[in-house]
Amino acid sequence: MTSEQYYDGCKRTWSNKGDNLEHCVYGLITESAEILDMLKKHKFYGRELDMVNLREELGDLEYYMSILYKEIGYSQDEARIDNIAKLSKRYPDKFKDKVVRDVEDELSHIDNKPIIKGL
């Protein structure tokens, strides 16, 4: 399934009431909280990790990410490329606890024009 096909599937059930950007951020936080709640129940209440539920929640996160990418004129592929470029600069060899960040340099490839629709 392509990103466009997936987006079309997500759009079918999307509510267009209110601000889409805000709606997506609320959705990402609440779906992440569902994963956190599952981990809490595993760590503190001794429940088995529910991998089926974890997969379902990851899908819910994908749903909001798909809508969010389209809303800001960005794509999953672009996000992946930008993220790997950032991590490669920040951690040239491998992850280290202490790193000196140069945020301006990390973000220098990003165009400064507004990317949110309507701006």
Binding site for Mg ion (CB under 5 A): 31, 34, 57, 60
Whichever of 63 and 69 has its CB closer to Mg ion, that residue is 63
The least distance separating Mg ion from the CB of residue 34, rounded to whole angstroms, comes to: 5
18 φ/ψ sector (left φ>0, alpha ψ -120 to 50, else beta): left
Least distance between Mg ion and beta carbon 41 (Å) = 15
Give the nearer residue to Mg ion in terms of CB position, either 29 or 87: 29
Cα separation, 57 vs 23, whole angstroms: 17
> Closest separation between CB of residue 75 and Mg ion, Å?
23
Query: Based on CB atoms, which residue is closest to Mg ion, 41 or 90?
Result: 41
Shortest distance in whole angstroms from residue 102 CB to Mg ion: 37
Which of 34, 106 has the CB closer to Mg ion?
Answer: 34
Which of 54, 22, 17 shows the shortest CA–CA distance to 38?
A: 54
Q: Which two tokens stand for residue 54?
A: 């974890």
Residue nearest to Mg ion (CB): 60
